[in-house]
Chain A
Amino acid sequence: MKRVILYVDDELSNLRIFKDTFRRDFDVLLASSGAEALEILQNKRVDVVITDQRMPGMSGVELLAVVNSRFPSIPPNRVILSGFAEDADIKLAFDQYRLSRFIPKPWDYDVLKLEIINAFSNIE
Chain B
Amino acid sequence: MKLSIQFGYKIGICLLVCMSLIGEIRAQISREYLISGLIYKFTNHIEWPENNRVVFQVALFTSKDEISKNLYNISRSKKINDKDFKIVTFTKADSSILAFDVIFVGEDFASEYVRIFDLVERKPILLISENLSDKSLVMINLFDKSYTELSYEINKPNIINQKLKASNEILIMGGTEIDVVSIYLKSQRTLRSYEKMNMEYRKDLDSVQELIANNEEMLNQQKIFLTQQFAEIEEQKEFQAGQIFKIQQYEQELNSKSAYLNSQKNLLEKLTDSLIGSQHLLNKQYVEIRNGQYFLDTKTAIIDSINREIFRRNEILSSKDNVIEKQNFIMQGLYVAVGLSVTAAFIILSVLWLIRKKNMKLTLQKERIDYLNAQLLENNEELHASLDEIQLMQKQLIQSEKMASLGVLSAGIAHEINNPINFVYAGINSLLRDFKDIEPVIEKISQINPDSDNIREQLLEIEKLKEENYYYDAIEAIPTIINDIKIGADRTAEIVKGLRRFSRTDQGSLVPYDLHDGLETSLLLLRNKYKHQVQLIRDYDTEMTELMCYAGKMNQVFLNIISNAIDAVSDNGQITIKTRLKEQMVEVSIKDNGCGMDKDMLAKLFDPFFTTKPVGQGTGLGLSITYGIIKEHNGKIEVFSEPGIGTEFIISFPKV
Q: Which of A13, A84, A105, A107 contacts B487 (CB 8 A)?
A: A13
Residues in A with CB closer than 8 Å to B157 are none
Pick the interface stretch among A18-26, A38-46, A61-69, A70-78. A18-26
Known: A13-B484, A13-B487, A17-B427. A107 touches B422 (CB 8 A): yes
Complex Cα spacing A56 to B531, Å: 9
In whole angstroms, what is the CA distance A83 to B417 when docked? 11
In the complex, are the beta carbons of A105 and B421 less than 8 A apart? yes
Residues B532 and A17 in contact, CB atoms below 8 Å apart = no
Question: Distance in Å from the Cβ of A55 to the closest Cβ of chain B?
Answer: 8
Interchain CB contact under 8 A, B433 and A21: yes
CA distance A74 to B485 in the complex (A): 33
Q: A17-B426, A84-B414 are in contact. Are A105 and B419 (CB under 8 A)?
A: yes
Q: Are B429 and A21 neighbours in the complex by a CB distance under 8 Å? A: yes
Q: Is the CB of B418 within 8 A of A106?
A: yes
Q: Quick one: CB contact mask for B29-47 with A, threshold 8 Å, 1 for yes?
A: 0000000000000000000
Taken together as a complex, chains A and B put the C-alpha atoms of A110 and B208 apart, in Å, by: 82
Complex Cα spacing A26 to B442, Å: 26
Contact A21 to B430, CB < 8 A, known contacts A16-B481, A54-B415, A56-B532 = yes
At the interface, yes or no: A122 with Cβ under 8 Å from chain B? no
**Size of A's binding interface in residues, CB under 8 A:** 21
Is B470 in contact with A17, judged by CB distance below 8 angstroms? no
**Chain B residues with Cβ under 8 A from A21's Cβ?**
426, 429-430, 433
- By secondary structure, the B interface counts as helix
Shortest C-beta distance, A39 to chain B (Å), equals 20
B484 and chain A: residue at smallest CB distance: A13
Q: Which residues of A contact B434 (CB under 8 A)?
A: 20
A24 to B419, CA, bound (A): 23
Query: Cβ of B210 < 8 Å from any Cβ of A?
Result: no
- B430 & A20 in contact (Cβ 8 Å cutoff): yes
Given contacts A13-B423, A16-B481, A56-B532, contact A109 B429 (CB under 8 A): yes
Q: Knowing A14-B419, A17-B427, A105-B419 touch, does A23 contact B484 (C-beta < 8 A)? A: no
Bound state CA distance, A16 and B426, in angstroms?
10
The answer to whether the Cβ of B488 comes within 8 Å of any Cβ in the partner chain is yes
Q: Are B433 and A17 in contact (CB under 8 A)?
A: no
Quick check: A17 and B484 within 8 Å, CB to CB? yes
Q: Which of A17, A18, A105, A106 has the largest number of chain B CB atoms within 10 A?
A: A17
A18-B426, A56-B532 are contacts. A13–B477 as well, Cβ < 8 Å? Answer: no
Chain B residue contacts of A18, Cβ below 8 A: 426
Which residues between 405 and 445 of chain B lie within 8 Å of chain A, taking CB atoms? 411, 414-415, 418-419, 421-427, 429-430, 433-434
Q: Scan A80-124; emit 1 where CB is below 8 A from any B CB, else 0.
A: 000110100000000000000000011111000000000000000
- The reply to whether the CB of B473 lies closer than 8 angstroms to some CB of chain A is yes
Per-residue B-contact encoding for A3-39, CB less than 8 Å = 1, 0 else: 0000000010110111011011000000000000000
Closest-by-CB residue of B relative to A109 is B429
Could you tell me the distance between the alpha carbons of A10 and B427 in the complex, rounded to whole angstroms?
Answer: 16
Cβ–Cβ contact A17 & B415, under 8 A? no
Contact with A along B465-500 (1 / 0, CB 8 A): 000001001000100110010011000000000000
Judging by beta carbons under 8 Å apart, are B426 and A109 in contact? yes
The distance from the CB of B468 to the nearest CB of chain A, in whole angstroms, is: 12
| Chain B neighbourhood of A86, CB < 8 A | 411
B431's nearest neighbour on chain A, judged by CB, is A20
Specify which of B418, B422, B427, B430 lies most central, judged by the most chain A CB atoms within 10 Å of its CB. B422
Q: Are A84 and B415 in contact (CB under 8 A)?
A: yes
Q: What separation, in Å, do the CA atoms of A24 and B484 have in the docked complex?
A: 20
> Quick check: A17 and B481 within 8 Å, CB to CB?
yes
Q: When the two chains form the complex, which single residue of B418, B427, B473 contacts A23, counting CB atoms closer than 8 Å?
A: B473
| Most B C-beta atoms less than 10 A away, residue of A54, A57, A83 | A54
A105 and B417 CA atoms in complex are apart in Å by: 10
- B470 partner residues in chain A, CB cutoff 8 A: 23-24
Q: Contact check: which of B414, B426, B477, B481 meets A107 at CB < 8 Å?
A: B426
Look across to chain A and name the residue whose beta carbon is closest to the beta carbon of B411.
A86
Do A106 and B481 touch (CB < 8 A)? no
Q: Which residues of B contact A83 (CB under 8 A)?
A: 415, 418-419
Q: Which residue of B lies closest to A14 (CB)?
A: B422
Closest residue on chain A to residue B470 by CB atoms: A24
List chain B residues, Cβ under 8 A from A107: 422, 425-426
Q: How far is the CA of A117 from the CA of B481 in the complex (A)?
A: 24
Instruction: Note all chain A residues with C-beta closer than 8 A to B427.
Output: 13, 17
Are A106 and B425 in contact, with the CB atoms below 8 A?
yes
The smallest C-beta distance from B526 to any residue of chain A, in angstroms, reads 15
> Among B421, B423, B531, which residue has its beta carbon within 8 angstroms of that of A17?
B423
- The answer, among A11, A16, A84, A106, for a CB contact under 8 Å with B480, is A16
Kindly report which residue of chain A lies nearest to residue B487, judged by CB atoms. A13
In-complex Cβ contact of A20 among B411, B415, B421, B477 (8 A): B477
Are B418's CB and A105's CB within 8 A? yes
Partner of A13 from the list B414, B473, B488 (CB cut-off 8 Å) is B488
Q: Which one of A18, A20, A108 has the greatest number of beta carbons of chain B within 10 Å? A: A20
Provide the bound-state CA to CA distance between A16 and B427, in Å: 9
Chain A residues with CB under 8 Å of B477's CB are 16, 20
Q: What distance in Å separates the Cβ of A6 from its nearest Cβ neighbour in chain B?
A: 17
Nearest A-chain residue to B425, judged by Cβ:
A106
Which residue of B425, B470, B531 has the most chain A CB atoms within 10 A of its CB atom?
B425
- A109–B426 alpha-carbon span in the complex (Å): 7
In the bound complex, do residue A106 and residue B426 qualify as a contact, i.e. CB atoms below 8 Å apart? yes
**Chain A residues near B433 (CB, 8 Å)?**
20-21, 24, 109
In the complex, are the beta carbons of B422 and A105 less than 8 A apart?
A: yes
* Sample of 20 more A-B contacts, CB < 8 Å, known A13-B484, A105-B421: A13-B487, A14-B419, A14-B423, A17-B430, A18-B426, A20-B480, A20-B481, A21-B429, A21-B433, A23-B473, A56-B531, A57-B532, A84-B414, A84-B418, A86-B411, A105-B422, A106-B424, A107-B426, A108-B425, A109-B426
Taking Cβ atoms with an 8 Å cutoff, the residues of B that contact A are 411, 414-415, 418-419, 421-427, 429-430, 433-434, 470, 473, 477, 480-481, 484, 487-488, 531-532
For this complex, 9 residue pairs linking A to B, each with C-beta atoms less than 8 Å apart, are A11-B422, A14-B426, A20-B430, A21-B433, A23-B473, A56-B532, A83-B415, A106-B418, A109-B433
- Going nearest first, the 8 A-B pairs with the smallest beta carbon separation are A106-B425, A13-B484, A106-B422, A84-B415, A21-B430, A56-B532, A20-B477, A105-B422
